Amino acid sequence: MIQLQNVTLTFPDGENRITAVDNASLRGNNGTVTGITGPSGSGKSSILAVAATLLRPDSGGVLIGNGSDMTDAAQLPKHEATQLRREGIGIVFQQSNLLPALTAREQLQVMARLGGGTSRNKRAKIDARVDELLDAVGLTEHAGKRTHQLSGGQRQRIAIARGLVHEPEVLLIDEPTSALDQERGAKIMELISRLTHERDTATLLVTHDLAHRHTLDDLVTVLDGRITTPIAGRALIR
Amino acid sequence: MRERKGIIVFVAWRELRFARGRFLLIGAVVALITLLVGFLSGLTGGLAAQNISSVLQLPGDRLVLQQPENSDPSYATSSLDENTVTAWEQADGVESVTPIGIVQSRASASRIDDPTGVALYGLPQHASGTQSNPLFDLAPVHDDEVGVSSGAADDLGVETGDTISITGTDFTVSVVGDDLWYSHTPVIALTPEAWSEASKRVGGTGEATVLAVTANADWEAIGAATGTVAETPLASLTALEAFQSEIGSLGLMIAMLFGISALVVGAFFTVWTMQRAGDMAVLKALGATTGSLVRDSLGQASIVLIAGIGVGLAAVIGLGTVAGQALPFIISPITTLAPAVVMAVLGLAGAAFALRSVTKADPLTALGSNR
Ligand SMILES: Nc1ncnc2c1ncn2[C@@H]1O[C@H](COP(=O)(O)OP(=O)(O)OP(=O)(O)O)[C@@H](O)[C@H]1O
Ligand SMILES: [Mg+2]
């Protein structure tokens, strides 16, 4: 589970600061895809960046974990936040952001080699899951291909597999369909939905494209940094 | 093995294979520069040895030369009379003084008509304070004998027992020793008396050129009182005109080559590492530690540098061995390993300089769409 509590984030803007996220609270439950939508510049990516520990909020908390075992990711020192990203969070970027020199399989294997005293044991575990995830995203046959040999949809599927290979508690996805056509977009959204349910992941998914809203379990709308509309209701905590 | 290395530089190693052409190119540049620097160093070393190898064998803590009134001291003109020698011998703290004569002249052997340029050393037997010393091993016992360095023996075509003629006087070769040179002429050693006569015949004073002094003394005070200057053996080399001009110009070329290689190699790794910043930001966002990224980048630079330098070094040794038969060329740690180490350090410095773009890579940029 991931829970944002009264998160406020500002950016310096000349003399003043602009508020990108304004006292936002939001919960993503395990086994649930929570959509975050809103107009351009409303603060969707900023919310995701805070959830991903890539930005530290001015105030508020980002609780990650289950039941009594919750960590406030917003308060972690830098190296522990890095460790959390390595072990507890999966990130799928708007652009697939794969590494051009690596094959599809290696894009997943790299997750076991990000340093920080990754134990032999953990590495073996991730390596063992690589084939399973390639299969889950339907790319076993393309495992040996490099990024430039893959289509946009295939890249995005590899990115999703990479986001899940280390079995994170939380999966954060920014605009996964923006580079894809309607049909491929739908397939990606269905894949995310299926994997989220199968793996019981708490998935937050930013999109401004509501064509695939049926694949979302929850949906919130962001306007000027504020979470305004609980469309399905459950994601908003009052 | 591959897997082990892969863990340290997983991404870097695959980039090396992916961008093979680019890395081969820079590896070749590194190899070529190593070859150039190494070759020039070997040549400089060879030339230097032909200039100074005998001077470096002179014993004592300091070498005393005449201090001319209006110019710098010089081996070619230095002449130290009896009084000066005595003054040094009796100065406070002086343990031993060995007067040595050096003059350039010609020698000829009956078998070869053309005379050969040689450096005549006037050396006493067993200079005090020296054990076995390649220069003093040449010192003959009798006034009608000479000790011949191997270079001079080759040029003259003589062996032990042969006769050679120097300034009109015949000498018997008593020993053929090591390859010692002075100012590009091979060394022949005479007794001090024979040397003094020879020196006078070629227009010299017949007096000692240099004193090898062992002492714990006030060098400057004694020098000032006697019109001499006492220098360490290395510092005294500047009193060899040929050495100064040669090493000056070759040294400048080597320094410039190092400067150029620093720029080329450093700039390549700077640009390359900066190009990787985008991928580094992605890896950081995924949870890579800065340490692992630094290892990855430096590891990559090291692999290219070591391969390039290795090839360059092999070429230096190969070509140097061939060239050594025709040119004065020295293959030693200073002329091979030293340039190699400097190249490696320069390349890594370039990569390290660019590391800021890795350590500062903002993982947030990976999230944006404008990558
Ligand atoms: N690094 C930054 N520095 C300053 N201002 C920023 C920065 N990042 C975002 N902002 C501002 O914060 C606000 C929210 O931006 P954000 O990227 O979260 O919007 P978004 O909802 O993701 O928009 P889009 O749908 O276009 O991706 C915007 O006004 C933006 O200009
Ligand atoms: Mg955005």
For residue A51, which of A15, A27, A19, A17 has the smallest C-alpha distance?
A27
pLDDT of amino acid A238: 38
For residue B91, which of B258, B215, B271, B265 has the smallest C-alpha distance?
B215
For residue A206, which of A225, A222, A226 has the smallest C-alpha distance?
A222
pTM (whole model) above 0.80: no
**Residue stretches of chain B with pLDDT short of 70:** 1-8, 111-112, 126-131, 367-371
What residue's CA is closest to ligand 1, atom 8?
A46
pLDDT of amino acid B5: 38
By three-state DSSP, how is residue B346 classified? helix
Number of helices and strands in chain A (H, E): 6, 10
* Rounded CA separation B371/A183 (Å): 25
What residue's CA is closest to ligand 1, atom 25?
A40
Contact A111 B19 (CB under 8 A): no
Alpha-helical runs (H) found in chain B: 2-8, 10-18, 20-52, 82-90, 150-156, 192-201, 219-226, 233-236, 241-275, 277-285, 290-323, 333-359, 364-367
Question: Considering only residues 155 to 214 of chain A, which have any Cβ-Cβ distance to chain B shorter than 8 Å?
Answer: 162, 174-175, 178
pLDDT of amino acid B368: 61
Taking the alpha carbons of A95, A88, B289, A123 in that order, is the dihedral positive or negative?
A: negative
Q: Which amino acid is at B240?
A: L
Element (H, E) at B71: none
pLDDT tens-digit map of A111-170: 988 876 666 777 888 888 999 999 989 999 999 999 999 998 899 999 999 999 999 999
pLDDT of amino acid B2: 38
Length of chain A: 238
With beta carbons less than 8 A apart as the criterion, state whether A9 and A35 touch: no
Contact A99 B368 (CB under 8 A): no
Answer whether residue A230 shows pLDDT above 70. no
With beta carbons less than 8 A apart as the criterion, state whether B244 and B55 touch: no
pLDDT of amino acid A50: 95
pLDDT of amino acid B167: 87
In this complex, is the C-beta atom of A145 within 8 Å of any C-beta atom belonging to chain B?
no
Q: Is A146 buried (19+), middle (13-18) or exposed (0-12) by CB count in 10 A?
A: middle
* Rounded CA separation B135/A228 (Å): 96
Cα-based distances in Å from A203 to A51, A131, A160, A163, B119: 11, 22, 11, 11, 89
Answer whether residue A231 shows pLDDT above 60. no
A149 C-beta neighbours (distance < 10 Å), count: 11
Residues of A in Cβ contact (< 8 Å) with B286: 85-86, 91, 110-111, 114, 162
Q: Which amino acid is at A76?
A: L
pLDDT tens-digit map of A66-116: 878 889 999 999 999 999 999 999 999 877 789 999 999 999 999 988 876
pLDDT of amino acid A234: 52
pLDDT of amino acid B3: 39
pLDDT of amino acid A126: 86
Q: Which amino acid is at A28?
A: G
Residues of B in Cβ contact (< 8 Å) with A162: 286
**Residue range A24-47: average pLDDT?**
94
- Concatenated DSSP letters of B176-244: EE---EETTEEEEEE-HHHHHHHHHHTT--SSBSEEEEEE-S-HHHHHHHHTEEEE-HHHHGGG-HHHH
Q: Which amino acid is at A88?
A: G
- For chain A, the first-to-last Cα distance in angstroms comes to 17
Q: Is B41 buried (19+), middle (13-18) or exposed (0-12) by CB count in 10 A?
A: buried
Cα-based distances in Å from A48 to A157, A164, A217, A228, B319: 20, 17, 18, 16, 61
**Domain ranges (residues) in chain B:** 10-51+244-363, 59-232
For residue A32, which of A166, A217, A183, A235 has the smallest C-alpha distance?
A217
Q: Which amino acid is at B261?
A: S
Give the position, in ligand 1's atom list, of the atom nearest the Cα of B364: 1
| A182 backbone dihedrals φ, ψ, rounded to 5° | -50, -50
With beta carbons less than 8 A apart as the criterion, state whether B75 and B65 touch: yes
pLDDT tens-digit map of A160-217: 999 999 999 999 999 888 878 888 889 899 999 999 999 999 999 999 888 888 999 9
What residues does ligand 1 touch, defined as CB less than 6 Å away?
A 11, 20, 38, 40-46, 208
| pLDDT class of A53 with cuts at 50, 70, 90 | very high
What residue's CA is closest to ligand 1, atom 24?
A40
